[in-house]
Structure 1
Amino acid sequence: MSKPFDVLVVGELNVDLILNQIDKFPEVGKEVLADNMTLTMGSSSAIFASNLSTVGSRVAFLGRLGHDNFGDLILSSLQARGVDTTHILRATTHNTGATIVLNFSEDRAMVTYPGAMNHLTLPDITADALQKARHLHLSSMFLQAGLRKDLVTLFKNAKDAGLTTSLDPQWDPAEQWNVNLQQLLPHVDVFMPNINELKAFTRQDDLTAALNVIKPFARNVVVKHGSEGAYLWNGKELLHQPAFLNKDVVDSIGAGDSFDSGFIHKFISGASDQACLEFGALTGAINTTRPGGTGAFESLALVKTIAATTFNYSF
């Protein structure tokens, strides 16, 4: 039976206040100036969902927002990109989350107020919502305090309902990494950390050693490695995809999420592992040509234009 959505995204929702062109990072008690400011929809999950919809997948989102201006901005931004927002829950008891991003050269610092995202819980993710999609994706598990203890149950529920699954863990602000991957990853079809996150999870110093820790219980492990490209351990071999390099990076906010969107778009279509890696690397690079996580994904036509003119790639 056909399902209305290709992907159900479960995750955090917040706005990003991005300050660019800063001479140096601020010090306590001192002030610096930024020459550019952008207020936009943020959060890894929302950037992923928005860009995945732009490249052609049918996407629904399940998360929590406050009844405030930031919540209105996020809702309208998702809807403008074709993301179904029927399952987004809003309440007056909590404000919508926000992240202040300070960009300095190719590095950045962030401060996040979680707000409503802390209060998404397992009962919010109903069987009805799962049954409407072919695939479940979750990002930023450490920013979702109300859901984190039930991640194994959530992913098991999704698999039992016949969905394929993916997880981008993102960074743990507490740097404790206290998630039992041995219990969780058997229910995750595609685990998508970056290289630093994988090293932190496994307490290892290099890619090979880190992969060896989780190989016994992981299915597919995609490792994002910045300008070094991306790797995929598919249970049989380690594949590598070189990065599409952008010489004029505007910022790298959401580049990993955009990589995820390209990879999962191809994954759910049944493309080869290498094709998934290649398209993920392309969408991650396209992200860096405009401010914020969604600026380069205003339309599929724009994505194709950037791919052709900046990276000499046609699709």
Structure 2
Amino acid sequence: MAVLFDVIVIGELNVDLILDRIDSLPEVGKEKLAGEMTLTLGSSSAIFASNLSSLGMKVAFLGKVGNDIFGRLIRENLEKKNVDTRLIEVSDNLKTGATIVLNFEEDRAMVTHQGAMQHLNMEDITPDKLVVARHLHFSSYFLQPGFKRDLEKLFRMAKKLGLTTSLDVQWDPEEKWEFDAGKILPFVDVFLPNETELQHLTAQNNIDDAIRQLDGLSKYTVVKKGNKGSLLRYDKKEIEKGPFLNHHVVDTIGAGDSFNAGFIFKFIQGARPECCQTFGNLMGAISTTQAGGINAFKDYETTLRIAREKFGYTE
């Protein structure tokens, strides 16, 4: 079967209702006011797919939504970014997921209704759906119980079919952090946790011990450190790269997913891991210049212009 896409993304789909300009985070029994409100495409997986497509990659999405206004909004937003949505199942019996995001300074609180994403599982995935792409990306493991026992099976299938792979597990709302790294990560080329997630996954108190505990499992471990940059480990080497700082942050929603998109954009092109890391840092910074996870990314040339003008980036 012909390869039609650079990347197939499998993951959760939801909208984000973002409330900004809040004086303080909510307290039980009290009401707070928000000065701004935005309804936009949410979910780590969809933000990654959208921004990667905006950079010029051919991207397909496999997921599940309800036959409702939020499901239509998600598909329309992905299609506007040229993400292929033919593998998104639309269910008449399920509701599309939604996240309420409360932004306060550079921090945020979130509440998510999982909806249809809970029902996506390995029965929805067959080899003929994967083989049309060069690379598989999976995100938000803990929000998708259908993969709790089968994530190794998914990545094993992808590798057998010749795809490269990447994984971002994201936060565990239950804070149990049940993830069998020894079984799953050997089939993952690029593992993309942030530093807090990595410490929880490994039950370590510092990044150095945490990243070394996973040494040799995935080909590359890339740790996102927010406004401190990122850490890359491979072949027993560790490379720290500082951030591209935005001194006028609008919000940080999707910054980590934008980092992922930047890293994988270069990775698929065969760039050196350090170049992928730098471009990931840059895309994460650009994401913070607009509200929501996708609004800062129009196309590759516009993205590079922002990179040059705001962050002094040169290729």
Find the counterpart in structure 1 of residue 36 from structure 2. 36
Tell me how far apart the structure 1 counterparts of residues 118 and 22 of structure 2 sit (CA, whole Å): 31
Q: Distance in 1 between matches of 2:138 and 2:114?
A: 16
Q: Could you say what the CA RMSD is over the residues aligned between the two structures, in angstroms? A: 1.0
Alignment-mate amino acid for residue 101 of structure 1: V
Tell me the alpha carbon deviations over residues 129-162 of structure 1, each in whole angstroms, 9 at most, x when there is no partner. 1100000000100001112220000000000010
Equivalent position of 1:309 in the other structure: 309
- The alignment status of 1:280 with 2:294, answered yes or no, reads no
Give 1:308's aligned amino acid: R
Of 180-189 and 216-225, more deviation after overlay is shown by 216-225
Matches within 5 A, 1:206-225: 206-225=206-225
Q: Which moved more, 1:40-49 or 1:144-153?
A: 144-153
- Alignment deviations for residues 100-125 of structure 1 (CA, whole Å, 9 cap, x no partner): 00000011000000000000010211
Deviations 1:80-109 (A, max 9, x none): 001001100010111000000000001100
Could you say which residue in structure 1 is the equivalent of 2:60?
Answer: 60
* Identical pairs, percent: 54
Contact 1:296 1:302 in 2 (8 A): no
User: Could you tell me how far apart the structure 1 residues matched to 2:301 and 2:93 are?
Assistant: 40
Alpha-carbon contact 2:195-2:225 (below 8 Å) kept: yes
Q: Secondary structure at the match of 1:95?
A: coil
- Deviation of 1:26 (Å): 1.1
Write the distance in 1 (CA, Å) between the matches of 2:85 and 2:241. Answer: 34
Residue 94, structure 1, aligned to residue 97, structure 2: no
Residue 135 (structure 2) aligns with: 135
The residue that corresponds to 1:70 in the other structure is 70
Measured after TM superposition, the shift of residue 216 of structure 1 is 4.0
Q: CA deviation at 1:168?
A: 0.4
Q: Which consecutive unaligned segments of at least 5 residues does structure 2 have?
A: none
Q: How big is the shift at 1:213? A: 1.1
AA partner of residue 23 (structure 2): D
2:229/2:243 contact within 8 Å kept: yes
**Aligned-partner SS, 1:88:** strand
Aligned partners of 2:216 and 2:80: how far apart in 1?
A: 42
2:171 is aligned with 1:164: no
Q: How many residues align?
A: 315
Amino acid at match of 2:210: A
Which amino acid in structure 1 is aligned with residue 235 of structure 2?
Answer: G
Instruction: Give the Cα–Cα distance (whole angstroms) in 1 for the partners of residues 185 and 272 of structure 2.
Output: 21
Q: Equivalences for 1:1-315 in 2 at 5 Å?
A: 3-315=3-315
Q: CA deviation at 1:304?
A: 2.0
Q: Whole-Å Cα distance in 1 between the matches of residues 189 and 285 of structure 2?
A: 24
After alignment, is 303-312 or 39-48 more displaced? 303-312
Deviation (angstroms), 1:2? 5.4
C-alpha separation in 2, matches of 1:219 and 1:276: 14
Q: CA deviation at 1:18?
A: 0.1
Distance 2:230 2:126 in 1: 34
The amino acid across from 1:147 in the alignment is F
AA matched with 1:290: Q
Verify the 8 A CA contact 2:65 2:116 in the aligned structure 1: yes
Distance 2:217 2:128 in 1: 29
- Secondary structure of 1:173's partner? coil
Q: What is the distance in 1 between the residues matched to 2:224 and 2:288?
A: 15
How far is the alpha carbon of 1:313 from its aligned partner? 1.6
Q: What are the ranges of 5 or more consecutive residues in structure 1 without an aligned counterpart?
A: none
TM-score with structure 1 setting the length:
0.98
